[in-house]
Chains A and B, each alone.
Chain A
Amino acid sequence: MPKDTGIGASMKRREDVRFLTGRGVYTDDLALHGQTYAVFVRSTVAHGRIKSIDTSKAAAMPGVLAVFTGEDFKDVGGNPAGWLINSRDGTPMREPKRPVLAHGKVRHVGDAYAAVVAETYAQAKDAAEQLAADSVIEELPAIIDMKAAVADPSNRVHDEIPDNLCFDWGWIEDNRAAVDAAMKAAPHVVTLELVNNRLVPNAMEPRASIGEYNPGTGDYKLTTTSQNPHLTRLLVAAFVLGIPENKLTVVAPDVGGGFGSKIYHYGEEALVLAAAKKLARPVRWTAERSESFLTDAHGRDHVTKIELGCTKDGQILAIRTETLANVGAYLSNFSTATPTFLHGTLMAGPYKVPHVYVNVKTVFTNTAPVDAYRGAGRPEATFSLERVIDKMCRELNLDPFEVRRKNLLTPDQFPYTTPVGLVYDTGNYHATLDKAMQIADVAGFEKRAAESKKRGKLRGMGLSTWIEACGIAPSHLVGVLGSRVGLYDAATVRVNATGNISVMTGAHSHGQGHETVFAQIVAEKLGIPESSVEIVHGDTSKIPFGMGSYGSRSLAVCGTAMAKAVDKIIAKGKKIAAHMLEASEGDITFENGKFQVAGTDKAKTFGEIAFSAYVPHNYPLETLEPGLEETAFYDPANFTYPAGAYICEVEVDPDTGKVDVVAFHCADDFGNVMNPMVVEGQVHGGVGQGIGQALCEFTAYDENGQLLTGSYMDYPMPRAEDVPFYNVDYSCQTPCTHNPLGVKGCGEAGAIGSPPAVVNAVIDALHRGGHTHVTHIDMPVSPSRVWSAING
């Protein structure tokens, strides 16, 4: 019987009411007294030297209040990379300064080198155009192609970095010789070269920021589209502008999607704060969509060669990869972790593979910065692995399901230490594979394929068995790996005098439904109605601290902090109850919202205890503080390891090359599920994005560094017609062993597991149609690419 309330119930989301009635408040919806408008002047060339900027005409234009150039910020700090990665030879990565506004050189189309603030948006826009006309930028040859960037040391994105390399990373370098030997000894070696296509995250709400400054107090406020307001506060205050953290409040109100792109601190945030101080007026900026395309951190963009050594019957013996990963023109905050520790550490997949070695060279180019996008490194690893396994099956004429079954770790092998540095705590990968095969009706595939054939279509089926490490992350581990921050989270549970509750969480909800799901958990633990619990997030002045929402961490990390804070509330409540009931604390039980002396009918309700904590007339004041509010910080002991099996069925039109995804089946293990409706929605969204990557999304820069796919006219976002209904199952549950809720992250799963399932299905369809010369097609598997592969 499904529950109506509490943990495990598909409760409808409370946040929906405001969104459905137009009462959500996103950053650009705010109107502030005396507000002014910032417009950025952005480079139209990919690479150029700033020769001169004459601000005089722009500054004199109607309504213009201030003009800024890179000169104004050359003495403040840069926007730092959050992870220090060392190269194989032990040298630290190259870390060029990322300024608020470009100074000296511009390094990608869209790189902001000046800004205008005016009374109205139109005035600011007009003056920005004047300023662009009055700027002299000497165009330099653009460095776009990664292989060329590394090969030609004469042309440099950053003058001080001779080979455009940020680092050359080996994981694990000490194992390299053993992996090489295993590969050499393997009876069969499969090699695949592939591209993981560059994507633009495209949260539907464009980035926006409003800076405010109060000259009377010296307090700043930044309202911004952020997935993690505390991290943004730390970066803009301590690293860039040198503002004391306690003089800056960062608020992320309703945020219209992030997918990674709103984790990072961007220069526009620093500019509106600095401008607000100069003018003592609010300064606002909202990106146009074209600015989003040019300047939001992009995702993926790997070029990889993967080799897999195996026996002739498909036992995997060794995996070796070489990857060029694009970091773009500057290091975005997570950009050095994404292709390394979020990628290389997943290269063993859910398989028992004795030898794995990963090499990643990260390359500076004259393109937008590249950073974590839904999945972040793990989709790249999964795609490489699941595609090369599929190729192995074709080369050796093996059944892809049986090959997975042969290589998947078995439940008795946990905890399992991989050769790439992770310890998988629990899982049952055969169970999700069996479940996927059942819900996908694999047995009935031939019949469906025959029916497709009658209509002139080639039907194919593709499998992907995926795993990921999420819920980032144990601070001690990421500290060893190069992280410059801790990755715990925090929550405060405040019981008000009347017994209702405010929970302040470090996690930030921008679509994930925390306001509902977190309330379900607190309500269940305290035995009170959900309506008594309010979730507060996204405001550094209200919340103890937090590292925000990304990496499928909100529930596993912040949710655990919240559960621990509730446990502290219950523990204190027991002390109060013991006093009021004249019993020993050890005899007090707490169940269904009632503190009771065990074995008696003497009890106090949660509300009575709360009231007593705030009106402590009959209260153990000599030993216990009044009030009922607890904070917990939680640093996870390990990552969580959700895993699953995805089966995709496609129909390919051999005449046009068009691919239709006709069915998509997901069998996932997310451990315990708090709200099935929300979990399904997360999987749907992830799979939708994964199908988008596989079928249509593509970010194209021409050789001069102009972004050819800079609008929705050119960048093919998946539309409702491009995707099917998804069949989602989460009944295989191995609860996480190291967090009290037993939960694993679910936010990125769909985007990680789905792209290889789609491409494997397309290759399968082509082989079934007799096009057996096609061994791989890079994403997106667009009609032209499929048609060319068939006819190539």
Chain B
Amino acid sequence: MTKVSMTVNGKAVSGEVEGRTLLSSFLREGLGLTGTHVGCDTSQCGACVVHVDGKPVKSCTVFAADVAGANVKTIEGMANPDGSLSVIQQAFQDHHGLQCGFCTPGMVMSSAALLAENPKPTEAEVRHYLDGNICRCTGYHNIVKAVMAASGQDVSALAAE
């Protein structure tokens, strides 16, 4: 067991981990931050995406010990300081970009990372960027719409309001 320290959602945290402890396990079991979900064994589904030093990372594929000292942000840290939904979260609600909610944390974290890199993505860019996030409920329509809306684009003309 080794002691690992990092900043999670703006707070300094530390815990004892085994070398094999994944970041997703450390967040969920060590810190009780269960908003980060694990949906597969192969780094494919993207439900576990968090930000490490601002970059989107699949937390099921990173050892907790490897991100010692890093600044980690999870879905629990995405709301505005006053607790209201952030722009991207609000867009997901406004445009019904989630149903069962299980893939949603990863979708929100990936989408936020996309908008940080590319503030006005095209539909094709959104779809391409979200290739590593699987959703079984929405058929992606409203997710793509929500991300484009969150970027300030007018989505009212998109098919099927």
Contact = CB atoms under 8 A, between A and B. Distances in A.
Given A16-B92, A21-B35, A717 B136 contact: yes
A24 B134 CA distance: 18
B128 A511 contact: no
A540 B138 CA distance: 29
A259 interface: yes
Given A17-B93, A511-B101, A719-B130, A712 B138 contact: no
A728 B44 contact: no
A720 B130 contact: yes
Contacts of A546: none
A635 interface: no
A164 B20 CA distance: 46
A21 B139 CA distance: 22
Interface string B76-108: 101100000100010011101011111111001
- Looking at B32, B41, B100, B130, the one whose CB has the most chain A CB atoms below 10 A away is B100
B89 A21 contact: yes
A720 B144 contact: yes
A750 interface: yes
A256 interface: yes
Contacts of B63: none
Given A684-B142, A712-B42, A727 B32 contact: no
Contacts of A686: 139
B85 A288 contact: no
Interface in B24-80: 28-29, 32-42, 44-45, 47, 74-76, 78-79
Given A513-B99, A726-B159, A21 B85 contact: yes
A678 interface: yes
B137 interface: yes
A711 B44 contact: yes
Contacts of A13: 93, 96
A685 interface: yes
Contacts of B41: 288-290, 711
A726 B160 contact: yes
B102 A712 contact: no
Interface string A478-520: 0000000000000000000000000000000011110000000
Contacts of A16: 92-93, 98, 101
B98 A750 contact: no
Interface residues of A, number: 61
A29 interface: yes
B158 interface: yes
Contacts of B38: 28
A721 interface: yes
B87 to A, nearest CB: 12
Nearest to B93: A16
B126 to A, nearest CB: 7
Interface centre among B45, B139, B161 (most CB of A within 10 A): B139
A17 B34 CA distance: 15
Question: Dominant SS at the B interface?
Answer: loop
A678 B95 CA distance: 10
Contacts of A685: 99, 136-139
Contacts of A26: 34, 37, 102
B126 A20 contact: no
B143 interface: yes
Nearest to B155: A725
A780 B44 CA distance: 21
Contacts of A394: none
B44 A713 contact: yes
Contacts of A712: 40, 42, 44-45, 134
B127 A720 contact: yes
A740 to B, nearest CB: 26
A750 B39 contact: no
A51 interface: no
A204 B135 contact: yes
A202 interface: yes
Contact of B138 (A17, A23, A203, A684): A684
Contacts of B103: 204, 256
A680 interface: yes
Nearest to B92: A20
B79 A21 contact: yes
B21 to A, nearest CB: 10
Interface string A681-714: 1001111110100000000000000000001110
Nearest to A259: B136
Contacts of A724: 159
Interface string A236-273: 00000000000000000011110100000000000000
A750 to B, nearest CB: 7
Interface string A444-475: 00000000000000000000000000000000
Interface string A283-316: 0000011100000000000000000000000000
B100 A510 contact: yes
Contact of B100 (A18, A28, A256): A256
B7 to A, nearest CB: 17
B101 A254 contact: yes
A720 B100 contact: no
A13 B33 CA distance: 23
Given A13-B96, A288-B41, A23 B35 contact: yes
Nearest to A664: B159
Given A689-B136, A711-B41, A257 B144 contact: no
Given A22-B33, A31-B29, A512-B99, A289 B139 contact: no
Contacts of B76: 21-23
A20 B158 contact: no
Nearest to B76: A22
A727 B141 CA distance: 10
Contact of A725 (B44, B136, B141): B141
A19 interface: yes
A717 B42 CA distance: 13
B117 interface: no
A677 interface: yes
Nearest to A256: B102
B139 A689 contact: yes
B154 interface: no
A10 to B, nearest CB: 8
Interface string A1-39: 000000000001101111111111110110100000000
Interface in B107-124: 108, 123-124
Contacts of B126: 720
Nearest to B40: A289
Contacts of B160: 680, 684, 725-729
Contact of A21 (B37, B78, B127, B131): B78
A624 B4 CA distance: 65
B39 A726 contact: no
B98 A204 contact: no
Contacts of A192: none
Nearest to A206: B39
Contacts of B105: 19, 22
Contacts of A649: none
A22, A28, A512, A678 interface centre (most CB from chain B within 10 Å):
A22
Contacts of A511: 99-101, 137
Contact of A204 (B39, B124, B139): B39
Nearest to B108: A20
28 contacts: A12-B96, A16-B92, A17-B85, A21-B85, A22-B36, A22-B78, A23-B76, A31-B32, A204-B135, A205-B39, A256-B39, A256-B102, A256-B103, A288-B41, A289-B45, A510-B100, A511-B100, A677-B96, A681-B96, A684-B139, A684-B142, A713-B44, A720-B131, A721-B124, A721-B127, A723-B140, A725-B144, A726-B141
Interface of B: 28-29, 32-42, 44-45, 47, 74-76, 78-79, 85, 89, 92-94, 96, 98-105, 108, 123-124, 126-128, 130-131, 133-145, 158-161
Closest 10 CB pairs of A and B: A22-B35, A688-B139, A256-B102, A19-B101, A511-B100, A712-B44, A511-B99, A29-B34, A22-B75, A684-B139
